[in-house]
Amino acid sequence: MRGVAVGMLGLVLGVLTWAISAASSPAAVQAPGEETLSGSDHLVCPLADFVRSETEVSVKATRPGPIPLWDVAEAEWSLLGGAELDERGMWTGAAPAGSSVFLAETGAGPSGAGITNAAPQAFSAWTCGESSGRLAALGGATLADDRLDLILYNPYVLDSVVQVVVTSELGEDTPAALREIYVPAGKTVEMTLDEPLRLRRSLAVLAESSPGRVALLLRQTGKGDTAMTEGVTPHTDWWLPVPDLGQAETHLIIASPSGSPFTYRVDLMTESGPLPAFLEEDFLPGQLVSIPLSALPGGVTGIGVVGTVPLAAGLRIEGEGLLAIGPGVRETARSWFLPAAGDGPGRDARAWVLNPSGLEASVSVSAGNFSFTITVPPESVRSFDLGKLRASAEGIAGYLVEAQEEIAVVMTTQIQGGAASVAAGAPVG
């Protein structure tokens, strides 16, 4: 009987253990996270120029002091020396000519940079950022005299293979020779799109690199101007202040790398008030949406685009002697950097501030020790002439646009001939 008693004790223990283990809930399964934006310690600035142009770069980092600058070309990583950031963490200077990559080791923390490329009769600007495994560039066209080049940059030591998808108003429109492009480490690959894809009214390029990561520029020449637009990482939300540059037409362009249909929504901000969900439609795979703003209610000052899956949105602004292409802003922030590069006499630089929130935003625009404050009503856009600050503060490297509310900022620069550029600001806080 002793054996039975001892055995029963064991049975009881065993049953208790089973009961406890059965009662405990299984561990929550962690869903794999999306690739989230995070602060990198460097900025990738793809460089390109055109005839008789000068390229300048402006950099903003978290702290003042020296940072290394590199020029990556032909698989050579050349130290350009350093940049001495001022007390606000800003610097501006000349960038190397040609198609190479300018690397700025800004360190941890929010940072931003912008490039301008100015020739006597043409002007373009774009924002630096991180390289990515998935990029989209919008706003190209290959009508009549248009020239469109796709430039892929690999600033790293790993070779990259890029899968390119081109969409146009005809749908998926990728030339066979461009479907897969090998971009060696430290090199740039440039290819023309207007030859294989003639007479396309609107084009978007989607580039997915694996292995490796690349940066991307589209260089569009036409209307007597040259426009550069950088590749951006698709996102579900976009904000597009619509600048008034005296253009004849502005197109809203939307593209997505999604392989399945999804719904997108367009919210409008107009002079007479917001029009939320003005458009809500299904987006089909391989589709390119190009909406002329002239077809929309008058006085559109800002656009918000929201999708259920990541997409890219941008503007193409055309006029006589004017061609400006630029992506929207994919996140709102409280602090923005606008480069002073390219800013100067004969150039009209303006900041366009979009306030998507329901509250009035008090926005401070500063450079050096000088600043101005503007008030942006809810769900509306206001612009600010950066020349006012330029006149007061000399030798500035850039502008800071700050607000208590989350805002979206783009910058336009227009030269007297009419050529202009539009570039998103760099969120730095």
Partner 1 sequence: MTGTASSSDSIVRPTRTPSIAVVLMAEGDPLEPPVDRGAEKDWITRLIVVGKDPAAKREAERLGALHRETLDAVAKALPADIEFIWILADRAKPEPGALTALVQVAVNHQVALVGSKILSSEDSEQLLSVGSATDLFGVTFTGLDDSELDFAQYDVVREVSNLSPVSLLMRRRLLAVLGGFDESLPPVSAGLDLCQRVRLAGGRVVVAPSSRVRYPSGLFPRFAGWRERAGRMRAMFKAYRLMTLAWAIPLDVLLNLGEGLFSLVLGRPGRLAGFLTAVGWNIWRFPSAVSGRIKAQKFRAVGDEDIFRYQMSGSVTLREVGSEIGRRIGDFGPEEKSWAVVLTSRLRRGAPLAALLSFLYVAAASRNLWLVGLPSVGFSFPPGDDSAAVLAAYAGGWSDAGLGTSLPPHPAAALTAFADWLTLGWSGSQILVTGMALLAGLLGSARLFRSMGVASAGSHAGAAVYLLGSATASVLAYGYWPLVVALGALPWSVSAAARPWPDGWRARIGDLAAVSLACALLAASTPLAVAAPLAIVLLGCAAGVGWSWWSVPRALLGAAAGVSAVGAYLWAYDLDVWSHGPSLDWEADWVYWGGVAAAGLLAVLFGGARLRGATGVGLALSGAGLWVGHLPEWELALAGAVLAAVGAGTIVAASVAAGVREGKDRLRVGGLLALLAGMVVLGSSLPSLEGGRAGLAEDRWSDRLEFASSLAEPGDGSRLLLIGEEGSLPGMEREGEGFSYRLMKAGPPTLEQAWLAPPGVGDQALEEVVRTLSEARPLRPGELLAPFGVRWVVVSQETGFSRYLSGQVDVRILSESAEAVVYENLVALPRSDGPYVGAWDSVAPDRVEGLEFQGRIRIGDNAHPGWGPDWVQHSWWNTISGSDGAGTFTPDPVERRLGWWGGGLLIGLAGLVWWGRGASR
Q: How far is the CB of 114 from partner 1 (least distance, A)?
A: 19
Options 51, 94, 97, 157; binder of partner 1; rule CB under 8 A: 157
Q: What angle do CA 224, 193, 148 make, to 5 degrees?
A: 15
Asked if 158 touches partner 1 (CB under 8 A), the answer is yes
End-to-end CA distance of the chain, in Å?
77
Q: How far is the CB of 28 from partner 1 (least distance, A)?
A: 13
CA–centroid distance for 272 within its chain: 28
- What mask, x for binding partner 1 by CB under 8 A, covers residues 190 to 229? ---------------------xxx----------------
Q: How far is the CB of 206 from partner 1 (least distance, A)?
A: 18
Does 310 sit behind a cis peptide bond, omega within 30 degrees of 0 on the bond before it? no
Asked if 277 touches partner 1 (CB under 8 A), the answer is no
Options 64, 133, 196, 285; binder of partner 1; rule CB under 8 A: 133
- What mask, x for binding partner 1 by CB under 8 A, covers residues 97 to 116? ------x-x--x--------
Asked if 6 touches partner 1 (CB under 8 A), the answer is yes
Asked if 155 touches partner 1 (CB under 8 A), the answer is yes
Nearer to partner 1, 354 or 428 (CB): 428
Options 156, 238, 336, 337; binder of partner 1; rule CB under 8 A: 156
Separate counts of helices (H) and strands (E) for the chain = 2, 32
The CA distance from 346 to 420, in Å, is: 12
Q: How far is the CB of 15 from partner 1 (least distance, A)?
A: 8
| DSSP three-state, residue 358 | coil
Of 156-164, 188-196, 259-267, 385-393, which segment contacts partner 1 by CB under 8 A?
A: 156-164
* Rounded CA Rg of the chain: 25
The CA distance from 7 to 15, in Å, is: 12
Nearer to partner 1, 23 or 176 (CB): 23
Number of residues this chain uses to bind partner 1 (CB under 8 A): 45
Nearer to partner 1, 6 or 176 (CB): 6
Of 157-165, 168-176, 229-237, 368-376, which segment contacts partner 1 by CB under 8 A?
A: 157-165
The CA distance from 102 to 43, in Å, is: 8
Cβ distance 401 to 365 under 8 Å? yes
Q: Which residues contact 210 (CB under 8 A, 6 or more apart)?
A: 133, 160, 161, 163
The CA distance from 47 to 136, in Å, is: 17
Interface positions, 10-49, toward partner 1 (CB under 8 A): 10-18, 20-21, 30, 32-33, 35, 38-42, 44
Asked if 182 touches partner 1 (CB under 8 A), the answer is no
Q: Which residues contact 283 (CB under 8 A, 6 or more apart)?
A: 254, 256, 258, 261, 262, 263, 264, 289, 307, 311
Q: Which residues contact 340 (CB under 8 A, 6 or more apart)?
A: 58, 92, 367, 390, 396, 397, 398, 399
Interface positions, 51-90, toward partner 1 (CB under 8 A): 77
- Contacts to partner 1 by CB under 8 A: 1-18, 20-21, 30, 32-33, 35, 38-42, 44, 77, 103, 105, 108, 130-131, 133, 155-158, 160, 211-213
